């Protein structure tokens, strides 16, 4: 059972809102650091274990700097994410660059930073060589296709997913790179997302260890590292159990000692690229109730919307909701909790039992620390919210300001005086 608690008191939150109007995302630094240490401890036995944080989950340099201090690298998949890693002081082989349908300039930037490039398709070998050159170390993403049946709406089932190389292509790709003179190799997969069953991660490790052994036998290539991807879920629902990381770590250790060691492949560096696991439980979307509506259903309208948190609309995902100051009242009302977009799926909750809600109440939506702000957009001209950091010492730092009307119109040919007027008007 996952307890859904807040890292701040009602009075602390009131003071934060006085300084920073809702809506905003706020991240708990202490919780994030604790979470990182749990993961690293679970793999302390492994040779040079590396967690490459999935920048896409929480693309903010302040968060990345915290994670760099804890020893994490960065999993990047775009130019902007590479630049964010660089801004946070994460460079060289501390970056794993895994992208798909990749433009040449992104490969060149990855080469400039010294990142490990993880190719998504066999055709990208020639493309990479032509536009950026062959690096010292190379990796390929494996897609087991029909050999593996699990998957979900987020990542797709392997046979239907656009990612990675087939098993036959994997062998051909490594042969090509070996013949081109590459001496250092790694391998990657990512076949599950937001998974709570710990045995799935152990099964993935076994699958990859078997493949690594086969590659060594057929091609004479010994892998330097294996990246199991991310995919470790978090308990979004209070009744969910979090993944037992120690269980996962020990299960993979048993597989490693049974397969990698006796086949002369030790030391093999293990890596993961979790995002949601690291920051997800320690981010919160704070919003104010603007309206109530009673028609065929009862609705609560927030000053946040799908632009601030897309997951419930996109996946039907559950996010727990706390009405601040009413945590101990009976859940004797049923509401749809909505935003203001002109889309009926702009809802944070549907038929959710909650205490009686009044206009002006503060609502906190839990577990928005990953794929929350990051997935935002500007549909209906909605401006993206601020991001705050609740520091270990209890202070609150603005780590991304809220967008303004001037930001929204910045890419249009609009006279500066009109932009200034619009921005000023929006603050009134």
Tell me if residue 342 is catalytic. Answer: yes
Q: Please list, in sequence order, all residues whose beta carbon lies within 8 angstroms of the beta carbon of residue 24, skipping any fewer than 6 positions away.
A: 285, 286, 385, 386, 387, 388, 402
Tokens, residue 29:
């630094």
Residues 293 and 391 in one domain: yes
Mean pLDDT of 282-309: 97
pTM of the model: 0.92
- Averaged over 21-39, what is the pLDDT? 98
| 64-88 mean pLDDT | 98
Is the model's pLDDT at 172 over the cut of 50? yes
For residue 5, tell me if it sits in a domain.
no
What is d(CA 326, CA 315) in angstroms, rounded to the nearest whole number? Answer: 28
pLDDT, residue 156, reads 46
Same domain? 257 vs 302 = no
What is the percent of the chain where pLDDT is above 70? 92
Q: What's the rounded mean pLDDT across residues 311-331?
A: 96
pLDDT tens column, 99-137:
999 999 999 999 999 999 999 999 999 999 999 999 999
Domain containing 196 — which CATH number? 3.20.20.10
Three-class DSSP labels, the chain: CCCCCCCCCHHHHHHHHHHCCCCEEEEEHHHHHHHHHHHHHHCCCCCCCEEEEEHHHCCCHHHHHHHHHCCCEEEECCHHHHHHHHHCCCCHHHEEEECCCCCHHHHHHHHHHCCEEEECCCCHHHHHHHHCCCCCEEEEEECCHHHCCCCCCCCCCCCCCCCCECHHHHHHHHHHHHHCCCCEEEEEECCCCCECCHHHHHHHHHHHHHHHHHHHHHHCCCCCEEECCCCECCCCCCCCCCCCHHHHHHHHHHHHHHHHCCCCCCCCEEEECCCHHHHHHHEEEEEEEEEEEECCCEEEEECCCCCCCCHHHHHCCCCCEEECCCCCCCCCEEEEEECCCCCCCCEEEEEEEECCCCCCCEEEECCCCCCCHHHCCCHHHCCCCEEEEECCCCCEEEEECCCCHHHHCCCCCCCHHHHHHHHHHHHC
- Residue 121 sits at φ, ψ, to 5 deg, of -150, 145
Give the mean model confidence (pLDDT) for residues 193-197.
Answer: 93
Say if 23 falls within a structural domain: no
Q: Residue 341 has which token pair?
A: 């977009």
Model pLDDT for residues 174-187, shown as the tens digit of each residue: 999 999 999 999 99
> Which domain does 342 fall in, by range?
281-427
Q: For residues 61 and 67, what is the distance between their CA atoms, to the nearest angstrom?
A: 10
Question: Confidence band (pLDDT; 50, 70, 90) for 153?
Answer: very low
In a domain, 70, yes or no: yes
Say what percent of the chain tops pLDDT 90. Answer: 88
Residue 422 inside a domain? The answer is: yes
**Domain presence at residue 14:** no
Other Cβ atoms within 10 Å of 369 Cβ, number = 29
104 shares a domain with 67: yes
Binned at pLDDT 50, 70 and 90, residue 146 comes out as low
Domain-located, residue 251? yes
> What distance in Å separates the CA atoms of residue 298 and residue 332, rounded to the nearest whole number?
13
Give me the catalytic one of 76, 200, 305, 342: 342
Q: What is the pLDDT of residue 418?
A: 67
Count how many domains the chain has. 2
Task: State the Cα angle at 62 between 363 and 284, rounded to 5°.
Answer: 15
In a domain, 263, yes or no: yes
Confidence of residue 25 (pLDDT cuts 50, 70, 90): very high
Q: Do 153 and 113 lie in a common domain?
A: yes
Question: Which CATH number do you get for residue 290?
Answer: 2.40.37.10
In a domain, 3, yes or no: no
């Amino acid at each position: 059972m996952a307890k859904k608690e807040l890292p701040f008191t009602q009075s602390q939150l009131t003071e934060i809102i006085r300084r920073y109007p809702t809506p905003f995302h706020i991240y708990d630094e202490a919780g994030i650091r604790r979470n990182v240490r749990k993961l690293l401890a679970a793999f302390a036995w492994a040779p040079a274990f590396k967690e490459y944080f999935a920048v896409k989950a929480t693309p903010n340099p302040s968060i990345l700097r915290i994670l760099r201090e804890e020893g994490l690298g960065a999993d990047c998949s775009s130019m902007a994410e590479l630049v964010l890693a660089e801004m946070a002081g994460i460079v060289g082989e501390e970056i794993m660059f895994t992208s798909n349908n990749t433009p040449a300039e992104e490969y060149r930037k990855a080469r400039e930073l010294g990142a490990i490039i993880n190719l998504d398709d066999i055709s990208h070998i020639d493309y990479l060589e032509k536009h950026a050159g062959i690096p010292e170390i190379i990796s390929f993403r494996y897609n087991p296709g029909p050999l593996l049946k699990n998957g979900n709406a987020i990542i797709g089932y392997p046979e239907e997913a656009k990612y990675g190389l087939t098993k036959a292509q994997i062998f051909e790709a490594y042969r090509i790179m070996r013949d081109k003179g590459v001496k250092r190799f790694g391998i990657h997969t990512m076949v599950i997302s937001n998974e709570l069953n710990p045995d799935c991660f152990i099964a993935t490790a076994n699958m990859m260890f078997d493949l690594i052994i086969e590659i060594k036998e057929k091609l004479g290539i010994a892998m330097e590292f294996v990246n199991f991807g991310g995919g470790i879920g978090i308990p979004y629902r209070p009744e969910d159990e979090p993944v037992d990381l120690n269980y996962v770590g020990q299960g993979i250790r048993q597989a490693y000692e049974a397969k990698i060691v006796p086949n002369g492949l030790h030391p093999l560096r293990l890596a993961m690229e979790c995002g949601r696991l690291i920051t997800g439980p320690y981010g919160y979307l704070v919003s104010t109730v603007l309206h109530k509506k009673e028609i065929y259903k009862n609705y609560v309208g927030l000053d946040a919307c799908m632009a601030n948190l897309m997951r419930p609309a996109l996946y039907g995902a559950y996010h727990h909701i706390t009405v601040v100051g009413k945590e101990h009242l009976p859940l004797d009302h049923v509401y749809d909790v909505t935003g203001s977009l002109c889309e009926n799926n702009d809802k944070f909750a549907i038929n959710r039992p909650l205490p009686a809600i009044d206009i002006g109440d503060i609502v906190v939506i839990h577990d928005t620390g990953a794929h929350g702000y990051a997935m935002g957009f500007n549909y209906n001209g909605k401006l993206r919210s601020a991001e705050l950091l609740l520091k270990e010492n209890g202070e609150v730092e603005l780590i991304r300001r809220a967008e303004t009307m001037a930001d929204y119109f910045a890419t249009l040919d609009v006279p500066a005086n009109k932009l200034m007027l619009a921005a000023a008007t929006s603050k009134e």
